[in-house]
Amino acid sequence: MNKFGLTRGIALSVCLLTLIIAIGQGVLVFIGVSLSNAWETQSLSSADLTVKIIPVMAIFILGLVTGIGSLGLKYRVWRVLYILLCLLVGIGAVFSFLSVASQGYKSAILMALVGIIYISLAYMTKKQV
């Protein structure tokens, strides 16, 4: 197997998993906004909707960068940036496990697992597996 073959495979699967999480969170945001408008419990402006969409778009972009970034690992500078990205996203996702009450157990465990996979992806990139 070539250099970074296993890392690329895991990176693409993590990319797909992160994109699925982002799409799922986006659907939940739209359902929540639609129900609050339908029941007239909260009046939302377009600025409020934009604030709720920004984290979903950030997760989506991180997933795309994870997948596309795994293709440029032969360059040393990109490899260092990729390791830093994976560590930051992994640690952030593991710490999001602390907000179990706001997400529910299944979603929190999924985020913790994604964080662990991101941290292991940074380790595998460092070891050039």
Average pLDDT over residues 94-123: 83
Q: pLDDT grade, residue 44 (50/70/90)?
A: low
The range of the structural domain enclosing residue 31 comes to 5-127
What integer pLDDT is reported at residue 120 of this predicted model? 94
Number of independent structural domains in the chain: 1
Q: Is the pLDDT of residue 102 over 70?
A: no
pTM of the predicted protein model? 0.82
Q: What is the DSSP string of the chain?
A: --TTHHHHHHHHHHHHHHHHHHHHHHHHHHHHHHHHHHTTSS---HHHHHHHHHHHHHHHHHHHHHHHHGGGTTSHHHHHHHHHHHHHHHHHHHHGGGGHHHH-HHHHHHHHHHHHHHHHHHHHHHHT-
Average pLDDT estimate for 80-89? 94
Q: What is the mean pLDDT of residues 17-30?
A: 87
Structure tokens at 126: 């460092």
Q: Among 12-21, 44-53, 62-71, 78-87, which stretch is predicted with the lowest mean pLDDT?
A: 44-53
Summarised one tens digit per residue, pLDDT across range 24-35 is 888 888 888 888
